[in-house]
């Protein structure tokens, strides 16, 4: 190899190794997060049974809605605009974005607390406890976004490990109490421990007082991402509440059990923007022509992995399934095939979604997400009316696979618009 060849190939090889390194830490972080979520779900399902697990799942789904809002307003703009920037700019942005997440958690948490007190019964205490732990849950998630924006995925991984370690004694205590509220407190309280550790890791204090300024500065992206994320999580919440009303709370527990079986990939999808948006933004800056290929490899790889995992789940014997999920296994195992197709379709669409976020095409990603959310809620509830829990699962699978095509159509149009806008204007005298 000549000296000239070395000069041209070495930087490319170094760049590839850097990308692989960041993606590896992202996968490791998601593995840690997946294991924690899976452990919580399994522990609660085995300890409380289908009905109480359904109540816990309603609280979990509600948290997902608030988390989507927090990401849209606070951390998605951070990932798009403050990935791979000078440290001073990153630190200032992280202080304000984490403050926005913490403030949102406190505000919505107060509402959940009051709603829970008003509801009472078996559901009310779970929502009251969710209100107490929401600030810690959202702040912990904000630190993960901040670390990935800086390319420091190792810190996000360590933070999730701290959450997992703190979760162990908390869940043991909750099991002795034996209530849904206790498990919600254990889950969210251990997240608060990790959130506190995140402040030590970053050396940054959340600036709640500057949250309003952050929201104002990022409103062109933030409010569109808010609607986009809230429509996704809101559709899930609508489906869960509607399914509970149509088929009973136990049906919600069955759906959650099927999601737990898809844990390694479903949790990966939920937090994938921690890695992929930042990487797609880097690809766009360094080699815009490679963005489509990057997104295709990302989405196709996830879809293929989800299908392989679903095929493996079909081979699990009932004895092993009951050992993991207890009484929830029988109803959840009937949903393996449609749940697998849902995750595969979502994985394929996530590749296109990462590209749209990197392009800053908030209007296009909003349109795609609204379409997907309407299809998700409509398919889930329509299927429930026709064929109960199984019908709901198949309705969601059809909606998710169909929506992924819409995501890719919008990415193609967004790339074309970006190419046209990046061509410098030619002036003639």
Angle CA 97–220–85, to nearest 5? 50
**Can you tell me the distance from the alpha carbon of 279 to that of 294, in angstroms, rounded to the nearest whole number?**
9
Task: Say how far apart CA 380 and CA 359 lie, in whole Å.
Answer: 31
**What's the confidence (pLDDT) of residue 338?**
94
More confident residue, 276 or 73: 73
pLDDT value at residue 281: 74
Instruction: Please determine, for residue 123, whether its predicted confidence score (pLDDT) is greater than 90.
Output: no
Nearest-angstrom CA–CA distance, 411 and 420: 14
pLDDT for residue 391 is more than 60: yes
Q: pLDDT (tens digit, 9 = 90+) per residue, 393-416? A: 999 999 999 999 999 999 999 888
Query: For position 200, what pLDDT does the model report?
Result: 95
Between CA 201 and CA 94 the distance in angstroms is: 13
pLDDT of 2 > 50? The answer is no
Model confidence at 192: pLDDT above 90: yes
pLDDT at site 112: 93
Shortest CA distance to 407 belongs to which of 296, 249, 287, 267?
296
Average pLDDT over residues 150-165: 89
Per-residue model confidence (pLDDT) at position 354? 87
* pLDDT value at 5 more than 50: no
24 confidence band (pLDDT: 50, 70, 90): low
CA separation for the pair 218, 79 (Å, rounded): 12
Token pair 């606070």 is at which residue?
Answer: 74
User: What is the model's pLDDT at position 6?
Assistant: 42
Percent share of the chain, pLDDT over 90: 38
* DSSP states of 254-311: HHHHHHHHTHHHHHHHHTTHHHHHHHHHHHHHH-GGGHHHHHHHHHHHHHHHHHHHHH
Cβ(50)–Cβ(253) below 8 Å: yes
- In this prediction the pTM is 0.69
In the predicted structure, residue 429 carries a pLDDT above the cut 60: no
pLDDT band at 268 (very low <50, low <70, confident <90, very high): low
Quick one: pLDDT at residue 98?
A: 95
Burial of 12 (0-12, 13-18, 19+ CB in 10 A): exposed
DSSP one-letter code for 423: S
pLDDT given for residue 10 in this prediction: 45
CA distance 195 to 163: 8
CA distances from 367 to 1, 186, 225, 336, 354 (A): 50, 37, 11, 30, 15
Of 14-28, 37-51, 202-216, where does the model show the most confidence?
202-216
Closest CA to 222 of 350, 97, 61, 372: 97
Give the pLDDT confidence score for residue 8 in this predicted structure: 43
Over 80: is that where the pLDDT of 329 sits?
yes
DSSP for 104-130, written as a single string: HHHHHHHHHHHHHHHH-TTTHHHHHHH
pLDDT higher than threshold 70 for residue 4: no
CA dihedral 294, 222, 112, 193 (to 10 degrees): 60
pLDDT at 102 over 90: yes
Q: Which of 263-272, 280-289, 331-340, 368-377 has the lowest mean pLDDT?
A: 263-272
Please tell me the predicted confidence (pLDDT) of residue 426: 42
The alpha-carbon radius of gyration of the chain (Å, integer) is: 22
Tokens of 77: 């703009």
Sequence-ordered alpha helix ranges (H) in 71-86 = 76-81
* Banded model confidence at residue 1, pLDDT cuts 50, 70, 90: very low
What is the chain's mean pLDDT, rounded?
84
> Is residue 1 helix, strand or coil?
coil
Place of tokens 């029988």: 330
Asked whether 365 and 357 are in contact (CB, 8 A), the reply is: yes
pLDDT at 56 over 70: yes
| Cα distance between residue 170 and residue 166, in whole Å | 7
């Amino acid at each position: 190899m000549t000296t000239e060849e070395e000069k041209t190939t070495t930087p490319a090889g170094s760049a590839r190794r850097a990308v692989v390194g960041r993606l590896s830490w992202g996968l490791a972080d998601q593995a840690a997060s997946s294991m924690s979520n899976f452990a919580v779900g399994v522990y609660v399902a085995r300890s409380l049974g289908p009905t109480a697990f359904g109540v816990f799942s309603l609280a979990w789904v509600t948290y997902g809605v608030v988390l989507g809002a927090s990401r849209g307003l606070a951390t998605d703009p951070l990932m798009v605009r403050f990935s791979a920037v000078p440290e001073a700019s990153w630190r200032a942005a992280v202080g304000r974005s984490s403050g926005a997440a913490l403030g949102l958690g406190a505000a919505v948490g107060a509402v959940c607390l009051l709603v829970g007190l008003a509801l009472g019964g078996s559901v009310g205490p779970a929502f009251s406890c969710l209100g107490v732990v929401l600030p810690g849950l959202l702040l912990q998630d904000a630190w993960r976004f901040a670390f990935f924006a800086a390319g420091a995925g190792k810190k996000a991984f360590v933070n999730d490990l701290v959450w997992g370690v703190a979760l162990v004694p908390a869940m043991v205590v909750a099991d002795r109490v034996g209530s849904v509220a206790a498990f919600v407190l254990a889950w969210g309280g251990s997240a608060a421990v990790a959130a506190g550790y995140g402040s030590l890791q970053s050396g940054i204090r959340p600036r709640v007082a500057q949250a309003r300024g952050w929201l104002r500065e990022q409103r062109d992206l933030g409010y569109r991402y808010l609607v986009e994320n809230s429509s996704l999580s809101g559709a899930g919440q609508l489906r869960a509440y509607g399914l509970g009303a149509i088929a009973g709370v136990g049906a919600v527990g069955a759906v959650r059990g099927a999601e737990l079986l898809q844990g390694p990939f479903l949790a990966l999808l939920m937090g994938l923007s921690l890695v992929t948006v930042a990487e797609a933004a880097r690809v766009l800056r360094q080699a815009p022509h490679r963005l489509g290929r990057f997104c295709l490899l990302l989405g196709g790889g996830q879809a293929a992995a989800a299908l392989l995992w679903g095929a493996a789940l079909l081979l699990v014997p009932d004895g092993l399934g009951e050992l993991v999920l207890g009484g929830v296994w029988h109803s959840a195992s009937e949903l393996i095939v449609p749940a697998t197709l849902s995750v595969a379709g979502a994985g394929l669409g996530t590749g296109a979604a990462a590209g749209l976020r990197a392009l800053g095409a908030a209007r296009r990603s909003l349109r795609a997400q609204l379409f997907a959310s309407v299809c998700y809620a409509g398919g889930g509830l329509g299927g429930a009316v026709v064929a109960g829990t199984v019908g709901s699962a198949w309705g969601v699978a059809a909606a998710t696979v169909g929506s992924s095509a819409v995501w890719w159509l919008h990415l193609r149009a967004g790339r074309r618009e970006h190419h046209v806008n990046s061509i410098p204007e030619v002036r003639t005298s």
